[in-house]
Structure 1
Amino acid sequence: MRALFVTWAEPTHLLSLVPLAWACQAAGHEVRIAAPPPCAAAVTRSGLTAVPVGRDVAVDQIRNRADLVPWRSPGRWPEGWAARPELLDAGQRAVLAALADKQFAVARAMGAELVAFARHWRPDVVVHDTLAYAGTVAAAAVGVPAYGHTWGSATVMRVENEDLGARPLPGHTRLFTDLDVEPRDGPTAWFDPCPPALRLPDPGPPRHRVGVRYIPCNGRGVVPRWVVEERSRPRVCVTAGVSAAKTGPGAPPDLLTGAAHALAGRGLEVVLAVDAAQAGRLAGLPDRVRVAAGVPMSELLPTCAAVVHHGGSGTGLTAAAAGVPQLVLPRIPVTAEIGERLRNAGAGLLPPPERQADPAVIGEAVEALLDDPRHAQAAARLSAAMRRVPSPAERVAVLEAAASATPAEPGRAAAA
């Protein structure tokens, strides 16, 4: 089987695809990762083969356009909005329309070269990031199944459709027709690493989800000796993930510094997990707060009694897989979703927006996570449930079955 994976325009989205891509390759199949040029290096660092397609469309500039400011600004949208878009007001719906327009711009930048590569390489199946709409176009162009792959958000948010429903927006249809490809309304199904306990239902007609076990993939890193040494105090990790650079470039992340000060002096070992750029911007931290730059979260979090973070799916699901209770301090609407679901499952806490910057609230919430055994018990149950979901290695069979069920076109059979 030839499996073509398609990632979105930022390297962080690639990481959710890597376990399944490696599982395909380990099973003996041919794998290629099509990516916008800025992401190609991240693909090769993962040990997979990159195929740069399209051009850099300056995603940062698109993200910072005026009609998307509310998406990257503090605040909360109605709980469960991604599954119940009728809860949104006119302004919030306008933001979703702008998000769709942004994704269409990325897909247009990739589309022509991706379709050309697919017609040359003739894959048997396409797996694409759920936002990489060009992947469905490429699959349609060569007549093979397409599978979306989410990155662990609680629901499949279909911003390419009207009101997150079933009817594609004109911009989505044009991605196909502009390349003389018969339109599809989306992938055949989605691989979903979000555990069932944290999922929301899809807002539109039900789509087939293929649960796949979340495997933490944090990229390369080194595990320092102190990570595995015995500890005399509970260890609490504080991280803002890569989202800190998106929401506040050039400034120390407020989440990191605020939480560090809030937890200092409470008898804890506080570890700030950051990248090298974030570490260079941190100053004036309390004594006995450790800065850990580039330590893989999959190695650090299992040694922690709790984690404080921004609500990113990578951090949230890595902590859930490790069975660690979580305090979520979302600064933008989209990252509140995991916090709400963790709170409802008992495995985390989510302060009200107006109180999450209060040091006393942060300190008391972390102490509650540590002192109330119900949070640790709920986190352990969530971790156990995640381990029961079929692994990426087991889910390769889904792609094999889809590929074998598709009649081979003469060109694809010759290429194989």
Structure 2
Amino acid sequence: MRVLFTTAPLAGHLFPLVPLAWALRAAGHDVLVTTRENFVPAALRSGLPAAACGPAAEFTDLVDGEPPPLPDGMIGQRYVHGRALARMASGSLAGVGKLARSWRPDLIVSERAEFAGPLTATALGIPWVQHHWSVSDLREYRYAAAMELAPELERLGICGLPEPVRILDPWPTCLRRAHAADHHGVRHVAAHGDAALPDWLFERRGRPRICVTLGTLLPRYGATGTPGYMMDLVDELAGLDAELLIAVDDDIAARWPRLPSAVRHAGRLPLADVLPTCDAVVTHGGQGTALTAVAAGRPQVVMPHLDDQFDNAEALSAAGVAVLVPPSRATPGTVSAGCAELLGNPAYTKAATRLAEDVALMPAPSAAVALFERLPTAARTAGGA
């Protein structure tokens, strides 16, 4: 079986697909990742074959304008970001179609914010599976994509955005919302590309350890990731007499001023190996970071800023594994106080341990291979034609 993976050129969108792709390879199937040209190296660093489906494109360059009047309950920021992702898909559609016709996949797997893969699959009669990151339904993304991709849908003769044959969901059932009731669970397995494991990680220590990470996008996109804010946050956290790790891209850390001695490391880190050694985690509520902390059984201080991060943070807070700090209150002092609460109240760690046990019982990515193999063969034959 040949499986084509499609993703927007964002680390948080690619990395959840990597364990699935490797599970398929381990079972003897052929896989190929396609994304924009500038992000192909990131896919290659995960050890997967990758091909470009369009020229270089940055998500932040496509985010502009104000949303039109939206249906009740929709959030403007999410619509604007969904529109940017749809524009990304519009520029990828021809490349994905050309690749699918030449490589002839039996199945297409797309992360939920990548729309060129689903349109190509539907046009060619190939079954497709969606990887559903976050607890949010993000209906604004689909609404924006339907508006932005209307000309492409008409040209392809497709009525509305297509639905997948299966939806894979890495969030434990107890944290999901009603729209995800029929999703197929797949255990979150973290992927970090070529982030190195530091040799000091497992040394004995006498102080609590706190890891601070705001993901790969926010430090380049929002005020919370600026050097000034991060230096103030580090100063506040240092008052807890804790060892601090700051997980951030190396080029971002290189532009920061000299950090105090409380900071053991600032730069890229493989969180799946790092977080089990920590006592608390400061996160932005992004899918990869939040679920890696959940799988490690570590409590979190979550300060969401974008889109689904708010819903993720609310779910974690309701489960008793996180202190939620909304943007209006996300001062360094408030975040530090949240960490002190996690370190001083064992109830958070106990709840995080129980949730980690639930995650460990979810089907591994290898279990999804059998699910893929059972998909309708008639649809595969149409795709091959």
Same structural fold, with TM-score higher than 0.5 when normalized by the shorter chain: yes
Corresponding residue for residue 55 of structure 1: 55
Corresponding residue for residue 247 of structure 1: 222
Matches of 1:373 and 1:60, distance apart in 2:
40
Corresponding residue for residue 100 of structure 2: 118
Corresponding residue for residue 20 of structure 2: 20
Corresponding residue for residue 139 of structure 1: 121
The one-letter code sitting in structure 2 at the alignment partner of 1:67 is: E
Matches of 1:280 and 1:160, distance apart in 2:
34
Instruction: State the shift of 1:21 in Å.
Output: 0.7
The one-letter code sitting in structure 2 at the alignment partner of 1:175 is: E
Matches of 1:225 and 1:6, distance apart in 2:
35
- Match among 134, 138, 153 for residue 157 of structure 1: 138
Which SS does the other structure have where 1:299 is aligned? helix
Which SS does the other structure have where 1:238 is aligned? strand
Corresponding residue for residue 66 of structure 1: 65
Partners of 1:148 and 1:190 within 8 A in 2: yes
Cα deviations across residues 328-359 of structure 1 (Å, max 9, x unaligned)?
A: 12234542222211110000101344332051
Matches of 2:295 and 2:329, distance apart in 1:
28
Q: Which TM-score applies when normalising by structure 2? A: 0.91
Partners of 2:294 and 2:356 within 8 A in 1: yes
Matches of 2:308 and 2:142, distance apart in 1:
18
Which SS does the other structure have where 2:312 is aligned? helix
Say whether 1:193 aligns with 2:170: yes
Distance change (3 Å), C-alpha of 1:59 and 1:267: closer
Say whether 1:393 aligns with 2:366: yes
Distance change (3 Å), C-alpha of 1:376 and 1:160: closer
The one-letter code sitting in structure 1 at the alignment partner of 2:369 is: V
Greater CA drift, 241-250 or 265-274: 241-250
Matches of 2:296 and 2:197, distance apart in 1:
16
The one-letter code sitting in structure 1 at the alignment partner of 2:87 is: A
Instruction: State the shift of 1:212 in Å.
Output: 0.6
Matches of 1:103 and 1:308, distance apart in 2:
27
Partners of 1:97 and 1:159 within 8 A in 2: yes
Say whether 1:317 aligns with 2:314: no
Distance change (3 Å), C-alpha of 1:235 and 1:145: same
Counterparts of residues 210-249 of structure 1 (less than 5 Å): 210-242=184-216, 243-248=218-223
Instruction: State the shift of 1:146 in Å.
Output: 1.0
Say whether 1:148 aligns with 2:120: no
Cα deviations across residues 3-46 of structure 1 (Å, max 9, x unaligned)?
A: 11111132431111100011111100111111111111111111
Counterparts of residues 14-413 of structure 1 (less than 5 Å): 14-63=14-63, 65-67=64-66, 86-88=72-74, 92=75, 94-151=76-133, 153-162=134-143, 169-179=146-156, 185-202=162-179, 208-242=182-216, 243-248=218-223, 251-252=226-227, 254=229, 256-332=230-306, 334-359=308-333, 361-404=334-377, 406=379, 408-409=381-382, 412=384
Distance change (3 Å), C-alpha of 1:403 and 1:247: farther
Matches of 1:116 and 1:182, distance apart in 2:
22
Partners of 2:233 and 2:332 within 8 A in 1: no
Matches of 2:326 and 2:7, distance apart in 1:
34
Q: Structure 1: any 5+ residue segments left out of the alignment?
A: 69-84
The one-letter code sitting in structure 2 at the alignment partner of 1:346 is: G
Greater CA drift, 185-194 or 19-28: 185-194
Matches of 2:105 and 2:31, distance apart in 1:
9
Matches of 1:66 and 1:182, distance apart in 2:
27
Partners of 2:319 and 2:351 within 8 A in 1: yes
Which SS does the other structure have where 1:406 is aligned? helix
Partners of 1:139 and 1:145 within 8 A in 2: yes
The one-letter code sitting in structure 2 at the alignment partner of 1:234 is: P
Instruction: State the shift of 1:309 in Å.
Output: 1.8
Matches of 1:309 and 1:95, distance apart in 2:
20
Distance change (3 Å), C-alpha of 1:6 and 1:346: same
Greater CA drift, 237-246 or 105-114: 237-246
Matches of 2:113 and 2:370, distance apart in 1:
24
Instruction: State the shift of 1:369 in Å.
Output: 0.8
Instruction: State the shift of 1:250 in Å.
Output: 9.2
Matches of 2:201 and 2:81, distance apart in 1:
40
Matches of 2:307 and 2:128, distance apart in 1:
29
Say whether 1:3 aligns with 2:3: yes
Matches of 1:364 and 1:59, distance apart in 2:
33
Cα deviations across residues 303-334 of structure 1 (Å, max 9, x unaligned)?
A: 00111122222111111110000011223454
Matches of 1:341 and 1:4, distance apart in 2:
32
Which SS does the other structure have where 2:200 is aligned? helix
Matches of 1:207 and 1:401, distance apart in 2:
21
Q: Which TM-score applies when normalising by structure 1? A: 0.84
Partners of 1:195 and 1:385 within 8 A in 2: yes
Q: Percent identity?
A: 34
The one-letter code sitting in structure 2 at the alignment partner of 1:191 is: L
Distance change (3 Å), C-alpha of 1:207 and 1:3: farther
Matches of 1:387 and 1:304, distance apart in 2:
19
Number of residue pairs matched by the alignment: 381
Partners of 1:3 and 1:30 within 8 A in 2: yes
Matches of 2:6 and 2:72, distance apart in 1:
31
Distance change (3 Å), C-alpha of 1:184 and 1:224: closer
